[in-house]
Amino acid sequence: MRRLVVLLVLVVSQTAACGGSDGGATGRSVKTVDGLVAWIATHREHVGLVVKNAEGKTIVALNPDALFPLASTRKVLILGALAAAVDAGREKPDAPVSLPDIDHWFVGLDGGAHDRAMDDLRRRDRVVGETVTLADVAWAMTRFSSNAAADYLLDRVGGSGATSAFAAAAGMVAQEPLFPIAAEFSMWSAEPDRWLEMSPVERVVAAEQLVSHTQSWPRPGSIDRVGELARASVRGTPAEWAELMSRLQRGTVLGREGLTFARAALNWPLELNPGRFAEFGTKGGSLPGVITEASFVKATHGSPVALALFFRDLPADVESTLSGSRTQQALIIRVAEDDAFRRRLRARLNR
């Protein structure tokens, strides 16, 4: 059994390895892309994978319609709702945002993500006085996965209703509604049994009630049963998420201004890999037992693809290895750059 005290991370899971006598061998086996594919093929119940080609056709599908916890990947829906508001003229990317307004949502349980985001904005001279732009907040949420930035933006765009409206416009019918991460963590700490018994809609109501009565967010205390709580977090299907990323890639969701705004935030890997990719829009996340990635990629040498790769109920040693090695991200790049690998992946996983 594992007990995580205080530190819960939606960005990078800090779960320690605690496998059995053969756990290390399992963990080591997923350090390479080929090893990870072999593990997926023999542990299919843990994985959801959908890959779409340049035309939006599904070419790889494993558990496409199963519900998986999304962790921080869910923040793409907040970005989408914000981009829709940009399209409608209700928001401007260069609108000033007060840093104290963002800090209101900070509960400190993000593994340092928010601090790294603020350090990055200061390093790039994006902070003027005590303000940044709305586009900078979207960058902090997407590039660094700041939970405080995500909750601020969720509140700003209109909460669960706005993100559900964007999801519906993108054709997502199985997607569960969003609520503030700060409220979720507070409920995990204070009333875990009640939280687990609630339906997704009831959790939205409870979270919004908590927000309306909270002047400042205290740091949650000890959180037990975190694996069970993580499994009950906001869920979506690989099929719908791959379709969303494909539509963002092909420009068939959002208007011109909103699409430009959303892509600017999602394409943050281009700064880290100059010249290797024409586009690389992505958002990942993790919780104990959960690792998620949703991406659209156009490699300089390769065909455009969009995909969702979700893991759930991961053995601790596998989770620890993937969190450290990022092999799942290497798999995504291999899919984008290697057509022959993509065909082999399809032959091995499709049924």
- pLDDT, mean of residues 197-216: 93
pLDDT digits (tens, 9 = 90+) for 293-321: 999 999 998 889 999 999 999 999 999 99
pLDDT digits (tens, 9 = 90+) for 235-263: 999 999 999 999 999 999 999 999 999 99
Q: How far, CA to CA in Å, does 309 sit from each of 195, 255, 261?
A: 27, 27, 24
Check residue 222 and give its pLDDT.
76
What are the extents of the domains in the chain?
23-70+237-349, 74-231
Between CA 308 and CA 285 the distance in angstroms is 12
Between CA 237 and CA 175 the distance in angstroms is 7
pTM of the model: 0.92
Residue 19 has pLDDT above 80, yes or no: no
Check residue 6 and give its pLDDT.
30
Check residue 16 and give its pLDDT.
32
Q: Read off the pLDDT band of 35 (50, 70, 90).
A: very high
Check residue 25 and give its pLDDT.
53
The 3 state secondary structure assigned to 7-47 is: CCCCCCCCCCCCCCCCHHHHHHHCCCHHHHHHHHHHCHHHE
161 Cβ partners below 8 Å, 6+ apart?
none
**What end-to-end distance do the CA atoms of the chain give, in Å?**
35
Residue 17 has pLDDT above 60, yes or no: no
